[in-house]
Amino acid sequence: MKRFVYYQPQSLKEAFELMEKHKGGARYVAGGTDVMTRVKQKVWQPEALISLRWIKELSGISQEGQFLRIGGMTLWREIEMDPLVLKHAPALADAASMVANPQIRNVATVGGNLCNAAPSADGAPPLMVLEATLVIAGPEGEREVAISDFFEGPGRHCMASDEILTAILIPEMPVNTGMAFLKSGRVTQDIAVSSAAVCIQMADGVCKKCHVSAGAVGPVPLRLKRVETMAEGRKLTPELLQQIQDEAAAEVTPITDVRSTESYRRTVTGVMVKRALEQAMRQAEEPSASRDSVVSGDESGKSAPAEPSTGPYDTAFRKLIRFNLNGESVEAEVMSHKMLSHVLRKTFEFSGTKEGCGQGECGACTVLVDGESVNSCLYPAFETDGKTVTTIEGLVKEGNQLDPLQESFIENGGVQCGFCTPGMIMSAKALLKRNAHPTEEEIRKGISGNLCRCTGYVQIVESIKKASEVLAANEVKS
Ligand SMILES: Cc1cc2nc3c(=O)[nH]c(=O)nc-3n(C[C@H](O)[C@H](O)[C@H](O)COP(=O)(O)OP(=O)(O)OC[C@H]3O[C@@H](n4cnc5c(N)ncnc54)[C@H](O)[C@@H]3O)c2cc1C
Ligand code: FES
Ligand code: FES
């Protein structure tokens, strides 16, 4: 990987000045799940990365008058669980829950998703049907852009390279509104082969307003205007829904690529638009159906970043970072282009953390940062400053006593070659912290960002289930 400098500005003004200083050689980075993979693949070779993580005004979800305001740096994990989003924009919460896997959702942002401008971006279709407005700031001031005017082509949007997406404004929806988001991919954590979002208003069984959007089936996320016209002012009977399915398949403009064929994409989009309409119709007709129960655990989901420490080495190339590693305060002088996995393995010689793909795909490098699972291969070492990091070594208690999860993996055949095991156990640790009694489905979702080439997952799921039972029994005893 080519070296780059890494800045951590704490205000928009500082970020714009740094961008100006590098005159086209710099790029903003949010969670880095797209940026770091492309830098590692040498698709992008910036001389500088400007982190947006420390600009506090870019994060958070709030109600502002008639709008739900979501900061551009808000994490998918926060959006997935936020009560305001669940209430006012459940289709966006659904999309958030389907982005990649827990490790990616714990660092990736909604702003990064939109600014990446991939036609498959999961955030786009729900925000299109909600007719969101994007707030964009630049050195010359602030402007607002309707999301329908934002995307210009694959990987292209209407922002200049020095502008920052600061917030997304979602207008409040009237009662009798229903919405849904559906996604079809090759495997759980894959990007969409096709996705569909709808938002409808119903009155006396008639569809008064209908917004339909589809992703990954055109050069940009699409609004399906012909389908919308067919639905508006009419009862959504089974016959009409069938016609809408056919029209949706005809209206999209997909291509054949490695993920799917053009014809499959058309067919599946038609089916998903119909199913999303059926789901949204049910929701519109039962407005009391609360989704708050989806929120699990005691986490507020809000991140409260500590200040990055300053010191004699605090430059954009090299920095002294101080953090808590497995219960001990440590410090290390790290280079700007090094990832946390490298620092753990090479500086601290904690080789339990493995590096497989190096691209956020396999989960072998999973560790906990401030209690949340992350792929350490994509996590810039600079961003570890002031945080708490737990690796597989940190689970072992005094007297070499293994964690119940480690013991359960050994006893229940969850380990074969063992390469995936540390990452798998760290994901399971994060899951059990959030949800002490997971179902099999929840366990499978919790480890969806971890690949195992040996065990076939059955024993791994069993190991996690048994560990949760042991932990529950220990709790009762104590
Ligand atoms: C294994 C894996 C699986 C994935 N699966 C999915 C998936 O299922 N669905 C999906 O939609 N995506 C998926 N992605 C893509 C990616 O994770 C998401 O698009 C994510 O939301 C990007 O957010 P980020 O904060 O990491 O963006 P970054 O990587 O930090 O940034 C992405 C781009 O946006 C720019 N940028 C970021 N924030 C701003 C801002 N506020 N203002 C201006 N420019 C900005 C950056 O300069 C960069 O060009 C996946 C990625 C990986 C590695
Ligand atoms: S996800 Fe980090 S090494 Fe594969
Ligand atoms: S035990 Fe070998 S990869 Fe999972």
- The CATH number given to whatever domain includes residue 438 is 3.10.20.30
Residue 219's nearest CA partner among 181, 257, 188 is 257
Model pLDDT, residue 295: 29
Structure tokens at 125: 């279709």
Nearest CA to ligand 1 atom 31: 112
Rounded to the nearest angstrom, the distance between the alpha carbon of 345 and the centre of ligand 2 is 13
Q: What percent of the chain has pLDDT over 90?
A: 87
Does 41 lie in the same domain as 120? Answer: no
Structure tokens at 105: 């959702």
Contact by Cβ (8 Å): 169, 80:
no
SS3 call for 72: coil
Cα(162)–Cα(130) distance, integer angstroms: 27
Does 205 lie in the same domain as 69? Answer: yes
Integer-rounded Cα Rg, in Å, for the chain is 23
Q: Which helix (H) or strand (E) holds 328?
A: strand 328-335
Does 187 lie in the same domain as 152? Answer: yes
Mutational pocket test of ligand 1: of 7, 19, 27, 33, the residue with most ligand atoms within 8 Å of the beta carbon: 33
The residue behind tokens 């400053």 is 385
**Site residues for ligand 3, CB cut-off 6 Å:** 415-421, 452-455
Q: Is residue 434 part of a domain?
A: yes
Cα(356)–Cα(353) distance, integer angstroms: 10
End-of-domain residue from the set 241, 271, 287: 287
Cα(30)–Cα(380) distance, integer angstroms: 11
| 301 confidence band (pLDDT: 50, 70, 90) | very low
The mean pLDDT of the chain is: 93
Does 113 lie in the same domain as 41? Answer: no
In this predicted structure, which of 17-26, 287-296, 337-346 has the lowest mean pLDDT? Answer: 287-296
| 478 confidence band (pLDDT: 50, 70, 90) | low
pLDDT surpassing 50 at residue 294: no
Nearest CA to ligand 3 atom 2: 417
Model pLDDT, residue 474: 83
* Ligand 3 atom having least distance to the Cα of 417: 2
Q: Does ligand 2 lie within 6 Å of residue 360's CB atom?
A: yes
Model pLDDT, residue 317: 86
Model pLDDT, residue 1: 79
**What CATH number should be reported for the domain holding residue 250?**
3.30.465.10
pLDDT surpassing 70 at residue 307: no
Which one is predicted more confidently, 475 or 460? 460
pTM for this model (two decimals) = 0.93
Q: Does ligand 2 lie within 6 Å of residue 247's CB atom?
A: no
pLDDT surpassing 60 at residue 406: yes
pLDDT in tens, 412-467: 999 999 999 999 999 999 999 999 999 999 999 999 999 999 988 999 999 999 99
Does 83 lie in the same domain as 28? Answer: no
Cα(328)–Cα(153) distance, integer angstroms: 48
* Ligand 2 atom having least distance to the Cα of 449: 1
pLDDT surpassing 80 at residue 171: yes
Q: Does ligand 2 lie within 6 Å of residue 356's CB atom?
A: yes
Contact by Cβ (8 Å): 317, 334:
no
Residue 273's nearest CA partner among 233, 234, 244 is 244
Classify residue 468 as left (phi > 0), alpha (psi -120 to 50) or beta.
alpha
Model pLDDT, residue 381: 97
**Amino acid in position 431:** L
Structure tokens at 120: 């498959």
Mutational pocket test of ligand 2: of 189, 375, 392, the residue with most ligand atoms within 8 Å of the beta carbon: 375
Does 211 lie in the same domain as 113? Answer: yes
Residues 6+ apart with CB under 8 A from 314: 320
pLDDT surpassing 90 at residue 298: no
Does 177 lie in the same domain as 77? Answer: yes
Model pLDDT, residue 288: 53
**Site residues for ligand 1, CB cut-off 6 Å:** 27-35, 37, 52, 72, 99-100, 104, 108-109, 111-113, 115-116, 121-122, 164-165, 189, 191, 360-361
Structural domains counted in the chain: 3
Mutational pocket test of ligand 2: of 344, 351, 357, 421, the residue with most ligand atoms within 8 Å of the beta carbon: 357
Rounded to the nearest angstrom, the distance between the alpha carbon of 279 and the centre of ligand 2 is 36
Does 86 lie in the same domain as 28? Answer: no
SS3 call for 148: helix
Q: Is residue 69 part of a domain?
A: yes
Q: Is residue 294 part of a domain?
A: no
Model pLDDT, residue 304: 42
pLDDT in tens, 83-96: 999 999 999 999 99
Rounded to the nearest angstrom, the distance between the alpha carbon of 423 and the centre of ligand 1 is 22
Which ligand has its closest atom nearest to the C-alpha of 107? 1
Model pLDDT, residue 177: 97
Q: Where are the alpha helices (DSSP H) in 190-347?
A: 225-231, 238-251, 262-285, 340-342
Cα(423)–Cα(219) distance, integer angstroms: 36
Model pLDDT, residue 268: 97
Q: Is residue 308 part of a domain?
A: no
Q: What average pLDDT does range 174-189 have in this prediction?
A: 90
Residue 8 phi, psi (nearest 5): -130, 70
Nearest CA to ligand 3 atom 4: 452
End-of-domain residue from the set 18, 36, 51: 51
Which ligand has its closest atom nearest to the C-alpha of 418? 3
* Ligand 3 atom having least distance to the Cα of 414: 1
Rounded to the nearest angstrom, the distance between the alpha carbon of 356 and the centre of ligand 3 is 11
Model pLDDT, residue 306: 53
Q: Nearest-5° angle of CA 124, CA 449, CA 297?
A: 80
pLDDT in tens, 125-140: 999 999 999 999 999 9
Does 38 lie in the same domain as 68? Answer: no
| 472 confidence band (pLDDT: 50, 70, 90) | confident
pLDDT in tens, 346-367: 999 999 999 999 999 999 999 9
Domain coverage including residue 39: 5-51
Cα(431)–Cα(467) distance, integer angstroms: 12
DSSP 8-class letter at 288? T
pLDDT surpassing 90 at residue 308: no
Rounded to the nearest angstrom, the distance between the alpha carbon of 113 and the centre of ligand 1 is 4
Which ligand has its closest atom nearest to the C-alpha of 363? 2
**294: how many CB neighbours lie within 10 A of its CB?**
14
| 287 confidence band (pLDDT: 50, 70, 90) | low
| 473 confidence band (pLDDT: 50, 70, 90) | confident
Q: Does ligand 2 lie within 6 Å of residue 419's CB atom?
A: no
Rounded to the nearest angstrom, the distance between the alpha carbon of 76 and the centre of ligand 2 is 19
Q: What percent of the chain has pLDDT over 70?
A: 94
Q: Is residue 363 part of a domain?
A: yes
Which ligand has its closest atom nearest to the C-alpha of 420? 3
Contact by Cβ (8 Å): 453, 387:
no
Q: Does ligand 2 lie within 6 Å of residue 122's CB atom?
A: no
Which ligand has its closest atom nearest to the C-alpha of 353? 2
Model pLDDT, residue 302: 42
Cα(288)–Cα(176) distance, integer angstroms: 10
| 290 confidence band (pLDDT: 50, 70, 90) | very low
Which ligand has its closest atom nearest to the C-alpha of 115? 1
